């Protein structure tokens, strides 16, 4: 197990460096730079001075080495768009709204999705099953920004129940959370339904009934535990996946979170912020997979103990 963990951590480190290199190169391959402006062009001399101060006049590999050396020492640089702060301090403020909204969205969505999926599996071909299929198809096919717009249109514009956008008061959180919850809900409803149906059709369920166990115990102890094995593998990666969604959701609802900084850093060629965000997501996704693999092994004795225990 320890060997396995070390191997996996090493692979995270390798991934980290490969991604950093690829992103660094791609970032600089995009034409233009932080000070290319159409409306109020800076003079060539000022531009050169600024580039020299930020080290952008050096060869690309030197820039990369300097940057990575800084990162390894915990110095992620200064964002060009607000030179008064560091990248770290900016992200420290930015992740709060994203985590609160995204996190509660995923958790609420997943919980509801699991309940709906269970109900659908247990009452197969009933109205709730059809409702679950409809919901999951809609949730998976309608893009997040369309859902966000519809939410704003219905609840803010027509019904005037909730504020359309912004950050701060809890009532402003409701619509973004619903938007965040859509994909996890749809995914989990589908996943739970098929995992439960799979388990329910396995012979040991009949064997459990034959032992005289109550249906409730069979479902909640045995079927759910067995179905959870495939389900844990999607949870954390999906959690990180909402990071992509956050770009749209935060833009639609004007929330000052990671997603909106992502967009603005790309627009402004804010290299240090862009790098920091991408690398953060990379590490997040790597660990999400690592943790779900460990959870999978822990839930599944076949993997935990190996087959050669005979």
Residues 184 to 203 in contact with other proteins, rule: CB under 8 A: 202-203
Q: Which of 208, 249, 251, 285 binds other proteins (CB under 8 A)?
A: 208
C-alpha to C-alpha distances, 258 to 217, 246, 277, 282, nearest whole angstrom = 43, 8, 8, 14
Q: Where are the alpha helices (DSSP H) in 201-270?
A: 203-210, 215-217, 224-253, 258-267
* Interface positions, 90-119, toward other proteins (CB under 8 A): none
Instruction: Tell me: does residue 309 bind other proteins (CB under 8 A).
Output: yes
**83 touches other proteins (CB under 8 A):** no
Look up residue 24 and give its two tokens: 């660094």
Distance CA 260, CA 245 (A): 11
Where are the alpha helices (H) located in 142-223, listed in sequence order?
Answer: 144-151, 174-200, 203-210, 215-217
Is 50 near other proteins (CB under 8 A)?
A: no
Question: Does the footprint of other proteins cover residue 210 (CB under 8 A)?
Answer: yes
Instruction: Report the residue number, 7 or 254, with the smaller CB distance to other proteins.
Output: 7
- Contact assessment for residue 184 and residue 235, using Cβ atoms and an 8 Å cutoff: no
CB of 223 to other proteins, least distance (A): 9
- Work out whether 41 is an interface residue with other proteins (CB under 8 A): no
C-alpha dihedral over 294, 300, 304, 310, to 10 degrees? Answer: -170
| 212 lies in the binding site for other proteins (CB under 8 A) | yes
Of the two residues 75 and 233, which places its CB atom closer to other proteins in the complex?
233
222 part of the interface to other proteins, by CB under 8 A: yes
Contact present, 98 and 284 (Cβ < 8 Å): no
- State the binding string over 277-306 for other proteins (x if CB under 8 A, else -): ----------------------xxxx--xx
Q: Which residues bind other proteins (CB under 8 A)?
A: 3, 202-204, 206-215, 217, 222, 225-226, 229, 299-302, 305-310
């Amino acid at each position: 197990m320890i060997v396995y963990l070390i191997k996996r951590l090493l692979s995270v480190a390798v991934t980290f460096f490969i991604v950093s290199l690829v992103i660094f190169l791609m970032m600089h391959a995009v034409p233009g730079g932080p000070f290319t402006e159409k409306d109020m062009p800076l003079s060539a001399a000022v531009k050169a001075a600024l580039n020299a101060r930020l080290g952008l006049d050096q060869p690309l590999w030197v820039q990369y080495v300097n940057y990575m050396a800084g990162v390894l020492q915990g110095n992620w640089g200064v964002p060009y768009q607000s030179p008064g702060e560091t990248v770290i301090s900016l992200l420290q403020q930015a992740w709060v709204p994203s985590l609160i909204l995204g996190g509660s969205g995923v958790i609420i969505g997943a919980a509801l999705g699991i309940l709906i999926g269970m109900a659908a599996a247990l009452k197969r071909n009933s109205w709730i099953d059809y409702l679950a299929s409809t919901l999951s198809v809609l949730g998976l096919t309608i893009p997040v920004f369309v859902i966000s717009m519809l939410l704003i249109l219905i609840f803010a514009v027509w019904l005037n129940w909730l504020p359309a956008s912004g950050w701060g008061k809890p009532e402003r959180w409701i619509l973004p959370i619903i938007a965040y919850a859509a994909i996890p809900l749809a995914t989990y409803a589908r996943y739970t339904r098929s995992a439960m149906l799979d388990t329910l059709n396995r012979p040991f369920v009949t064997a459990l009934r034959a032992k005289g166990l109550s249906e409730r115990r069979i479902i909640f102890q045995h079927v759910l535990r067995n179905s959870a094995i495939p389900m844990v593998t999607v949870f954390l990666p999906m959690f990180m996946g909402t990071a992509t969604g956050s770009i749209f959701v935060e833009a639609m609802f004007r929330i000052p979170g990671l997603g909106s900084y992502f967009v603005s850093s790309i627009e402004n060629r804010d290299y240090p912020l862009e790098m920091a965000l991408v690398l953060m997501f990379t590490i997040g996704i790597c660990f999400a997979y690592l943790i779900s693999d460990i959870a999978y092994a822990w839930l599944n004795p076949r993997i935990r103990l190996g087959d050669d225990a005979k």
